[in-house]
Amino acid sequence: LYQVFWFGLLKGIMPKLSYTKVALLAPIVYFGGLFVRHTLDFAYVQAILSVGFVWTQLSLPKKEKDFGYAAFAAASFPLAIIPWIESMACQSYVVSKFGGHLIYDAAIPIFFIVAYVTSWRHYSSSSTEVREKNA
């Protein structure tokens, strides 16, 4: 059952990777998780998500690495750090008062909306400049 979880999760963050490669990777990731203390399970899953996402993004062709790519990477960086703060500082005042997972869940849409709006504004202004040059 856990391998089904890992297969789905890995395929979701690495959509261009073949099903065969994901099927080979899922048991390895599952096996690695057997050596993680239960209290750090969330951090392990987040580490796998971060590594898989970064690997996918870095392996994109150069022509696909544009402003949107950079904005998405900038939004993803804090989302790779917040779970570690949540798992390592769960007893701290801020995390225990506001709920570490709540902070993480709220950060996801906030950072991605900011990245989307920034990209949208960038490309909107770029297309406006092109239209003005052609006019």
pTM of the model: 0.68
Per-residue confidence in pLDDT tens, the chain, 135 aa: 788 999 999 999 999 899 999 999 999 999 999 999 988 888 889 889 888 988 888 888 999 899 999 998 899 888 888 877 777 776 666 666 766 677 788 888 999 999 999 999 999 987 766 566 665
In this structure, are residues 86 and 103 in contact, taking their beta carbons and an 8 Å threshold?
yes
Number of H helices, E strands in the chain: 6, 0
